[in-house]
Amino acid sequence: PVAKKRSDYQTPDFLISHVDMVFHLDVVKTRVITTSQITRNGQHDRPLVLDGESIKLVSVALNEDAIHDYSLNDEQLSIQTTESTFTLCVETEINPSENKTLEGLYFSAGAYCTQCEAEGFRKITYFLDRPDVLAKYDVTIFADKERYPHLLSNGNQIGKGQLDDGRHWVKWQDPFNKPSYLFALVAGDFDLLTDNFITQSGRNVLLELYVDKGALDKGHHAIASLKKAMAWDEEVFGLEYDLDIYMVVAVDFFNMGAMENKGLNVFNSKFVLADAQSATDDDFFNIEAVIGHEYFHNWTGNRVTCRDWFQLSLKEGLTVFRDQQFSADMSSPVFNRIKNVQIIREHQFAEDASAMAHPIRPEEVIEMNNFYTVTVYDKGAEVIRMMHTLLGVDGFRKGVDLYFERFDGQAVTCDDFVQAMQDATDIDLTHFRLWYSQSGTPKVTVTDTFEQSSGRYTLTFTQSTPPTADQAQKHALHIPFKFELLDQQGMSISDDSVPELEAKMIELTQAKHEITVSGLSEKPTPSLLLNFSAPVKVDYPYSHQQLSHIILHSSDEFSRWDASQSLYSRCIHSLATAPDSPDEELFDSMLVAVSGMFELADSNPALAAAMLSVPSFETLSQQVDEIQVEALYHAQRSIRNLIATSLSEKWLALYNKQITGPYQYDADDVDKRRLRNLSLSYLVQGDSPQASELLLAQFASADNMTDSLGVLKAAQYGPVDQFDHLMFQFEERWRHDPLVLDKWFALHANMERSDILARLPLLLSHEKFSLDNPNRVRSVLGSFAFYNVLGFHAIDGSGYQFLADYILKLNSVNPQVAARIITPLTQWQKFDPKRQELMRYQLARIADCKTLSKDLIEKVTKSLN
């Protein structure tokens, strides 16, 4: 396969104004008749070249005359014509039940469903399957009435009828122009939950949620979340929904989280269904976030879409930023910010350090589905956030308003967005645009000097970005770097002769910057990168006293948390490098700081819970040049044990204080459960005499999944027999519910056990496991590869081999899912030479496969270079 380059973009040779589609649904032989109104775009005599893949072409007619002199290959249908405006009718045949890729039209769990982004529409019909061809669609669906009472597509229902043979039909019309990737069709037998929303201009919007039969009660949270999202977008961005109906369908077989098809979102049921018994607080949170995300796409993605797929971050970075703001407004801003930053530090920094490094606007793509990444999404959102910081709340809103004023109904570029932000505010973003083309994680090194005699304090900021696999040369970026200086009382120092200090922000644009503050009586403590104002790493030689000072006094809650994490990291790395000579003084000061954090539990429980948690192995891995797997893993465990044992009384007291009534998903109770389960986990890790009793009591009395799962997660650190017993009971109770069983699968796959590789096959042959279902695959294989540190990275290479075996199996079932779970293998660069070799060996084995999908070819080839 050949890569497409961003620089090769050309406007389409033809445009399509209207599409009429007729579907005759059948499990093995679905017929699709697509009639398009086409016009030549400009003066040229090139043929009409349509995309099409894995479908059977039945017939082609141009202006109602059948034609046969077209040329056809595996990917394209070319038609030579001299007409400049014409009607093209294409009939295709599809086998939806054979389609395990879950892209295009597929049949699963008794229902038909489509997924077209990025390039799945071409698996339905021959078409100009690119986002800059926008058309209006009419869609008529025929299917058996009894089995498929609900026939859905985008827009408004404009007709329906009944045939004598038991089939019925429904016709839909979408009044908005849209690219083919936003097309959707669903047919099945569902339970339907309805509600309505009155927009700010007084229009009534019908809300419809389609779920599996019997799951109606689990839909209320999703509907409530949707209404919150609709109200929030009106309030914060002045954006109102534009159709009279908004449909959401939950399906069990889905490659990702959800899809923002116009007026007809399709969701992974994991991000819709919830009740207290079966869903955790995190599930409730994620449902609200994903429902919000897809809803926000209606403006940022659907009304204004991407010109080409290299611009994906135009809609994804912006929409992630919007969903992050929404979630922050719905609950605790600091807790949300911490979550966002953890994703960047655990996964995006790792991507930058790997063979898959790419800018938020990639330059070269073989398989577009490989670029729905943490870089495009989450770093993309950080880039939008930096503009928000530079422009301010009002400036940002003005920019977004201008963006819609200019581009509503069009397919545009990231540059168009930035230009609108600049034009609306007169803030020069020329240099800032480099964030779109430069990949990698910048490092800002900060040093300082203090001259006691004159009271002069100088801070020096130096930025540099290490080369990445895709790009050797790096330039200085425009970085909004927030900071403050704390005096010994913990007050933030101000000095109106130093504008950066007053603004608590310096805009770094060159390799080096310096600022000087005079007249200080003592050396201040700099609190750096407040609120994580840019997606960079910071290096400053903090003493542990300074970190403790920031933990107590920074005016920025995020930075208080961040300092706590630096302190833990320091302890863990110090123990990992010198396990035999622990730095007692450092550990003591850490323990003093930790014991102080307990005092926050009443006033700021969300922050307290985050501060009392040590950094993940993934975060720690990105802080070192070479990951020493066992040493780092055990050091992290030891520090947690130290915190657990040294403060066992505090943990017990904290546990006992978290009293909640019957389950409710509200901020106070969520915080309490979080602190309760965190305490429980430390009590078990610290081998507290009460641990077993508490585990069993909580397991027996829990009226909700958060507390039940909290028990299992904590029990991992306790006696094996007890853990096994609890897991057994859990499975007995939940084996009928696949979404809950996924949690059980994931816990199993993460277990720290020497025989883990003998246990995984048992999970994979579990009667509820299926390689066809992405949620199951992610729970077992994904959890193992991403999070089972000792198992996956076993020094005999068995973990790598195990994953590779299954990637080869998945290659022929679902290439998108295979290409996702291969990620940990593509991140070999930071491991020791022995492991690097073992990981590359498995990558090479995969590369040898003669029938490898484009998805895997792209990732494997890059990784082996």
- Site for ligand B3K (CB under 6 A): which residue of 132, 281, 283, 294? 294
Q: Closer to ligand B3K by CB, 237 or 540: give it.
A: 237
* Comparison of 274 and 817: residue with beta carbon closer to ligand B3K: 817
Contact flag: residue 260 with ligand B3K (CB under 6 A): yes
CB of 371 to Zn ion, least distance (A): 13
Among 372, 404, 450, 787, binds ligand B3K (CB under 6 A): 372
- Torsional sign, CA 217, 223, 224, 225: positive
**Which lies closer to ligand B3K via its Cβ, residue 70 or residue 253?**
253
- Using CB under 5 A, count the residues that bind Zn ion: 2
Minimal distance, residue 334 CB to Zn ion, in Å: 24
Question: Is the C-alpha dihedral spanning 226, 228, 234, 237 positive or negative?
Answer: negative
**What letters, b where the CB count within 10 A reaches 16 and e where it falls short, cover 346-368?**
bbbbbbbbbbbbbbbbbbbbbbb
Chain-centre distance of CA 660, in angstroms?
A: 31
- Contact of residue 742 among Zn ion, ligand B3K, none (CB under 5-8 Å per partner type): none
* CB 297 to ligand B3K: min, Å: 6
- The answer to whether residue 323 forms part of the interface with ligand B3K (CB under 6 A) is no
Taking contact as CB under 6 A, which single stretch among the options 73-81, 188-196, 253-261, 586-594 is the one that binds ligand B3K?
253-261
**433 — phi, psi (to 5°)?**
-60, -20
Q: Among Zn ion, ligand B3K, none, what binds residue 256 when CB lies within 5 to 8 Å by partner kind? A: ligand B3K
838, containing H or E segment: helix 833-847
Q: Considering CB distances under 5 to 8 angstroms, the limit depending on partner class, which of Zn ion, ligand B3K, none binds residue 369?
A: ligand B3K
Task: List, in sequence order, every residue forming a beta bridge with 352; answer none if it has no partner.
Answer: none
Cα angle 845, 848, 853 (rounded to 5 degrees) comes to 105
64 contacts 156 by C-beta, under 8 angstroms: no
- Please choose, from the candidates 616, 591, 615, 629, the residue with its C-alpha nearest in 3D space to the C-alpha of residue 794: 629
Please identify, among the stretches 127-135, 228-236, 289-297, 702-710, the one whose residues bind ligand B3K according to the rule CB under 6 A: 289-297
Indicate the residue among 569 and 823 with the shorter CB distance to ligand B3K: 823
Residue 141's nearest CA partner among 157, 125, 128, 126 is 157
Q: Which is nearer to Zn ion, 169 or 232 (CB)?
A: 232
Closest CB to Zn ion among residues 246, 769: 246
As measured in angstroms, the least distance from the Cβ of 590 to Zn ion is 39
Q: How far is CA 19 from the centre of its chain?
A: 33
Q: Which of 19, 48, 79, 118 binds ligand B3K (CB under 6 A)?
A: 118
Report residue 465 CA to chain centroid gap.
24
- Using the rule CB under 5 A, give the single segment among 129-137, 280-288, 311-319, 693-701 that binds Zn ion: 311-319
Q: Please state the closest distance from residue 324 (CB atom) to Zn ion, in A.
A: 12
Residue 294 appears among annotated catalytic residues: yes
DSSP 618-660: HHHHTTSSSB-HHHHHHHHHHHHHHHHHHTHHHHHHHHHH---
In the bound state with ligand B3K, the residue whose beta carbon lies nearer, of 134 and 508, is: 134
State which H helix or E strand residue 724 sits in. Answer: helix 720-734
With contacts defined by CB under 6 A, name the span among 251-259, 342-350, 676-684, 797-805 that binds ligand B3K: 251-259
Is 669 near ligand B3K (CB under 6 A)? no
Alpha carbon distance 735, 725 (integer Å): 15
CA 404 → CA 182, 262, 370, 421, 433, distances in Å? 19, 17, 29, 11, 20
388 sits near ligand B3K (criterion: CB under 6 A): no
Angle at the Cα of 319 from the Cα atoms of 315 and 321, rounded to 5 degrees? 125
Q: Which of 129, 132, 252, 316 binds ligand B3K (CB under 6 A)?
A: 316
Among 117, 283, 382, 855, binds ligand B3K (CB under 6 A): 117
108 binds, among ligand B3K, Zn ion, none (CB under 5 to 8 A by kind): none
Name the residue nearer to Zn ion (CB basis): 267 or 663: 267
User: How far is the C-alpha of 751 from the C-alpha of 265, rounded, in Å?
Assistant: 36
Which is the catalytic residue, given 117, 208, 294, 557?
A: 294
Please, is 64 exposed, middle or buried when counting C-beta atoms within 10 Å of its C-beta (0-12, 13-18, 19+)? exposed
SS3 sequence, 171-222?
A: EEEEEEEECHHHCCEEEECCEEEEEEEECCCCCEEEEEEEECCCCHHHHHHH
Among 32, 259, 304, 818, binds ligand B3K (CB under 6 A): 259
CA angle 659, 661, 667 (to 5 degrees): 80
Residue 207: beta bridge partners? 195, 246
Q: Does 256 bind ligand B3K (CB under 6 A)?
A: yes
355 touches ligand B3K (CB under 6 A): no
Q: How many CB atoms lie within 10 A of CB 623?
A: 18
Nearest distance, CB of residue 121 and ligand B3K, angstroms: 12
Quick check: 671 binds ligand B3K (CB under 6 A)? no
- Using DSSP, state whether 250 is helix, strand or coil: strand
Contact call for residue 20 and ligand B3K (CB under 6 A) = no
The item of ligand B3K, Zn ion, none sharing an interface with residue 117, based on CB under 5 to 8 Å by kind, is: ligand B3K
Stretch that binds Zn ion, among 273-281, 310-318, 449-457, 722-730 (CB under 5 A): 310-318
Choose which of 300, 336, 369, 554 interacts with ligand B3K (CB under 6 A).
Answer: 369
- By CB under 6 A, the count of residues binding ligand B3K is 12
**What is the β-pairing status of strands 185-188 and 191-198?**
unpaired
Nearer CB in complex with Zn ion: 290/611:
290
Task: Retrieve residue 680's tokens.
Answer: 């429980």
Site for ligand B3K contains 233 (CB under 6 A): no
Active-site residues, by number, are: 294
Binding site for ligand B3K (CB under 6 A): 117-118, 256, 258-260, 293-294, 297, 316, 369, 372
Binding site for Zn ion (CB under 5 A): 316, 319
